[in-house]
Structure 1
């Protein structure tokens, strides 16, 4: 039955692709569209935004890492409202590299891929919180080149593909000329944005601006040590309580179900440890379409047609569903889905009031430096790919 739905879906996609194919703007013949849809299955059915974060984790970068941990959710929440030119909603994938850390291999240029492209928000958060700083040599050209080689950027010219590299040493360090790396990025249609942690003119004089300019990217200088001022609102505590209720709507399955459910809880804890406002932003992300856990949660998996109830072995089910009939399991999942939708709606409604409260009470100068830098660059570059923002 599932195969039949997939075949039918591919046929419908071919008929309606001009209005449902992400931000794809080019006209193609129907015959080639069918072949393309079959070859790429679901992967190309929705437009995907790919962002690689290349973070300097040398001694002086603790402030940068803390900003990245705190402001990840602002970036995710911004993409919740993104639309492609034909009203389709894009997916978001983030990859993470660290460089310039003495704990990394000198043979690898003090560079490490911390996370391949992933849309798993808990995994992204987990990897960010795993970063620590320590000394090091900072080779910007080499880390850009490494990310271009290792990551699957895809060949769809209509997708938005971006690198954000942040650091505070000259962009010219290392044996590999950064100009070769950014030229390679341009050939792959990847925009390189550079974030210099320090004085604007110093970043210009050490080629951070030129590194961005060569791909049409943006150069930004930030004070990475500046404390982000979060505005407490009357809605925060309620949203955090709703987040706890939201977690109870997840139904783990498979070998890694329990592991990932625990990861979800740990990342809630990490966010709350940073600051209550960060926990609130994470809860808002979890109430949005961006937070999908079909790989381990039965509610999302069945909603996305990733699995059939009849195909799940009894040992892969949580204790409360073992030895239950398919009908009983289906009823249980539907109940959890209904609860989740209700809670997510409550969080979104409260967040609208929260954002209005913040707008009235927050000065522009109190916003996060990294957040401002990335969101402004993303919006400007996304516009070129026919994105709009609600």
Structure 2
């Protein structure tokens, strides 16, 4: 038995690091500023993560950038939802920082962690919509360095770890040299991508391209003031009707459940504030594997093999479910789960037709935030054996 154990241990030690290798590292996430909760992220050997840290300049001239981030979030999520990496499950985590706003603490370098790495898409949307702009000092090297040190980056190089920094002031400003920050990023297998809001040559002259080159990242220049065009399609009304049915399959539980289901409805309204077509994009995201809410929804929670539905206290349930027996509750959750899968399948089928319509009725735009993010993520993902097949 000892011989078998030694050989098993040796085999584990010599497994090569690649898209096909298992990773058993576990990390403790950075403590969020608002909730003061500590999130522990257990590494799943059957999962590959796409970790994206968005560092957004929120100084006075960046209203257009923030507007694009709000308007294009769901299309970005939808495009990433098509990611594949062998037989692995793909998990998307997004972190958000703002910098260059003089409302932020000067001792912190006018930088704020808005959200640590999260797969809660409603929470990400909420925080984006809460961002406002104001004048300040934009320290690119400092915010990159801060995100590297604070965030719960995966240790294994199997995962796709990306920083996107967007702004329009010289990349050289601030107390930390961007070259030092880039060196630190490269040592941790984190790729820095820079998005200059303005003229391409001006971004090169102010070292934004150099900031990306140091980690083999992508440099892009965008028109941050261009309004996002959402293409309406003949399938939108049906998809929005399905969204209402989809929302009715959520069963909240726990202390935060009722608040979270309210947040879901609020982000539906935020998406629709741009257009019905943008609300459709959010609905597509809600039908994807990235939209999971097991911390407050019984249907998603019940999919976890470690979750025990029988252990949920009646006080944690909605009023209309408190008098159900354990068996009745289990049957109800199963019914809602089947309904959700059926609705999500219909949404995905309609989305295929919707995408063909959009491709045939729109012009390609490579000068916005969405295009810059997607291009870089796909390019760098391919280096790690990720692919995008719809």
Same fold (TM over 0.5): yes
| Matching of residues 41-120 of structure 1 within 5 Å | 43-84=44-85, 86-120=86-120
Distance of 1:41 and 1:360 partners within structure 2: 43
When residues 121 and 23 of structure 1 are mapped into structure 2, their CA distance, relative to the original with a 3 A threshold, is farther
- Deviation string, structure 1 residues 77-100 (Cα, Å, up to 9, x no partner): 11211111x232310000000000
Structure 1: how far apart are the matches of 2:367 and 2:83?
21
- For residues 257-276 of structure 1, the C-alpha deviation after alignment (integer angstroms, 9 at most, x for no partner) is 00100000000000001221
Q: Secondary structure at the match of 2:108?
A: coil
CA distance in 2, matches of 1:45, 1:115: 26
Q: CA deviation at 1:231?
A: 1.3
Distance across 1 between alignment mates of 2:271 and 2:98: 21
Is residue 2:378 matched to residue 1:383? no
Kindly report which structure 2 residues correspond to 1:166-245, keeping only aligned pairs within 5 A, or say none. Answer: 166-245=166-245
Aligned to 1:7: none
- CA deviation profile, 1:110-160 (whole Å, cap 9, x unmatched): 000000000010011011111000001000000000001100112111110
1:241-256, aligned counterparts within 5 Å?
241-256=241-256
Distance 2:109 2:361 in 1: 45
Distance verdict in 2 for CA 1:317–1:145, change over 3 Å = same
Distance of aligned partners of 1:218 and 1:266 in 2 relative to their CA distance in 1, 3 Å threshold = same
Alignment CA distance shift 1:208-1:36 (3 Å) = closer
Query: Displacement, 1:194?
Result: 0.1
- Structure with bigger helix share is 1
User: Given the superposition, is the C-alpha separation of residues 59 and 36 from structure 1 closer, same or farther in structure 2, using an over 3 Å criterion?
Assistant: closer
User: The residue matched to 2:273 in structure 1 has which SS?
Assistant: helix
Preserved contact between residue 228 and residue 368 of structure 1 (Cα < 8 Å): no
Taking structure 1 as reference, are residues 111 and 44 closer, same or farther at Cα in structure 2, changes over 3 Å only?
farther
Using a 3 Å threshold, how does the CA distance of structure 1 residues 99 and 246 change in structure 2: closer, same or farther? same
Q: Secondary structure at the match of 1:363?
A: coil
Distance 1:341 1:23, change over 3 A: farther
Q: How big is the shift at 1:44?
A: 4.1
Check 1:22–1:298 CA distance in 2 against 1; reply closer, same or farther (3 A cut): farther
The alignment covers a number of residue pairs equal to 363
In the TM superposition, 1:291-302 aligns within 5 A as 291-302=291-302
Determine the structure 1 residue equivalent to 2:32: none
- Contiguous gaps of at least 5 residues in structure 1: 1-13
Larger mean CA deviation between 200-209 and 238-247 belongs to 238-247
Which deviates more from structure 2 when the two are superposed, residues 99-108 or residues 68-77? 68-77
Task: Give the equivalent residue in structure 2 for 1:271.
Answer: 271
Structure 1 residues 82 and 91, CA gap change in structure 2 (3 angstroms): same
Deviations 1:282-332 (A, max 9, x none): 000001111000000000000123421211111011112102111100110
Alpha-carbon offset, residue 45 of structure 1? 3.5
Give the C-alpha shift of residue 368 in structure 1: 6.5
In structure 2, what is the Cα distance between the partners aligned to 1:240 and 1:50? Answer: 29
TM-score for the superposition, normalised by structure 2: 0.89
SS at the partner of 1:136? coil
Offset, 1:41: 5.3
Greater Cα shift, 247-256 or 68-77? 68-77
Could you say which residue in structure 1 is the equivalent of 2:5? none
Q: Label 1:368 to 1:120 Cα distance change in 2 as closer, same or farther (>3 A).
A: farther
**In 1, Cα distance between the equivalents of 2:258 and 2:380?**
39
Task: Give the aligned partner of residue 332 of structure 2.
Answer: 332
